[in-house]
Structure 1
Amino acid sequence: MSSSNIRDLQRELENKANDLSKLQKDIAKNHQVRKKYTVQLGENELVLKELDLLKQDANVYKLIGPVLVKQDLAEANANVRKRIEYISAELKRLDATVQDLEEKQNSKKEAIMKVQQRIQSLQAGKGKA
C-alpha cells in the first residue's frame, strides 16, 4: 500500500512541477513584454521632450509607411502624450499580472516542497520496516 501512495505522490509532484514550469514561462514572457514597453516609453518621452523644444510654427512630420506626412505640432504632441498614457497603463497592468503570477509560483513551490516531504517521510518509514 505504501508504494502506491508514493507513486501517487510522485505523480502529484510531477503535475505540480509542470504547473510551476508553465508559471515560470508566463513570468518570463511577461518580463519580455514589459521590457519592450519600457523601451517604448523611454522613446516616447524623448520624442515629447523634443516636441516641447520646438516653436509653434515648426514643421513636424510623421512617418506613415514609406511616406513623411506633415502634422500639426499640437496634434503630434497630443498623440505622443496619449501613447505615453497607454504604455504607462500597460506597464501597470503587466506589473500586477507579474505580481499575481509570482504569488502563484511561490504557492506552487510550497506545495511541491510539502509533497516532497511526504514522499521522504513515506520512504523513510518504508526503509525502517
Structure 2
Amino acid sequence: MASSAALREAQRELENKANDLSKLQKDIAKNHQVRKKYTIQLGENELVLKELDLLREGANIYKLIGPVLVKQDLAEANANVRKRIEYISAELKRLDATLQDLEEKQNSKKEAILKSQQKIQSLQAGKGKA
C-alpha cells in the first residue's frame, strides 16, 4: 500500500511539473511575439532615421498626431526617432535577458520531469515485483 501512495504522489508531482513547464513555454512564446513586434518597430524607426538624414536643414517635416499632420522641426524629429530607437533597443535587450532566463528554467523543468518519470518507472517496477 505504501508504494501505491508513493506512486500516486510521484504522478501528482510529475503533473505539477508538466503544468509549470507548459506555463513557461507559453511565456516563452509570448516573449517571442513581443520581441518580433519590437524588432519590426526598430527596423521601421531606423528606416525613418535614414530618411531624416537625407533631408536638408529647413525641410518641412510633418508628424501624424491622431487625424492631424503637425509641422515638426528636423532636429526635434531626429532626436525623437533616436530616442525611440534607444528605447526599443533597451527593450529588446531586456526581452533577450528574460528569454534566456525562461529557457534556463525550461531546461531545468525538463530535467526535473525526466527524473520524476524515472522515479515513477522505478516505483512501478518495484510494485510489479512485489
- How many residues are treated as equivalent by the alignment? 129
Q: What's the TM-score, normalizing by structure 1? A: 0.99
Give the aligned residue type for 1:79.
N
1:79 maps to 80
Q: Deviations over 1:27-76 (max 9, x none)?
A: 10000000000000000000000000000021000000000000000000
- What does residue 64 of structure 1 align with? 65
Identity rate of aligned residues, in percent? Answer: 88
| Counterparts of 2:35 and 2:83, CA distance in 1 | 18
Determine the C-alpha separation between the residues in 2 that align with 1:29 and 1:7. 33
Q: Give the residue type in structure 1 aligned to 2:9.
A: D
Partner of 2:114: 113
TM-score w.r.t. the length of structure 2 is 0.98
CA distance in 1, matches of 2:128, 2:92: 53
Cα root mean square deviation, aligned: 0.5
The DSSP-based 3-state class of the residue aligned with 2:62 is strand
Letter in 1 for 2:89: S
- Superposition misfits of 4+ residues, deviation over 3 angstroms: none
CA distance in 2, matches of 1:126, 1:64: 71
1:7 aligns with 2:12: no
Aligned pairs for 1:1-129 within 5 A = 1-129=2-130
- Residue 99 of structure 1, CA deviation: 0.3
**Unmatched tracts of structure 2, length 5 or more:** none
